[in-house]
Amino acid sequence: MPKKKKKNNDAIKRAIDYGIDIQMLKDNLKRSATERIERHQAALNLVRLFQKAKKI
């Protein structure tokens, strides 16, 4: 079993080295699925608003 934990730690370290915000992922996983979807939808709505404003 310790081998699998080492492998997971290596993957996490590679992700951090690549620039992925692991803490943000951990924080998001603490939210309910509904809350994550609602936050995603709010972000998507904002992007669409920016895209619409760019066309004007």
Predicted pLDDT at 39: 96
When divided into structural domains, the chain yields a total of: 1
Q: Residue 8 — very low, low, confident or very high, per pLDDT cuts 50/70/90?
A: confident
pTM of the model: 0.63
Q: How far apart are CA 35 and CA 41, in angstroms?
A: 10
Predicted pLDDT at 2: 56
User: Among positive and negative, which fits the CA dihedral 20, 24, 26, 28?
Assistant: negative
Predicted pLDDT at 31: 97
Predicted pLDDT at 56: 80
Predicted pLDDT at 7: 75
pLDDT in tens, 9-51: 899 999 999 999 999 999 999 999 999 999 999 999 999 999 9
Domain that holds residue 17: 2-55
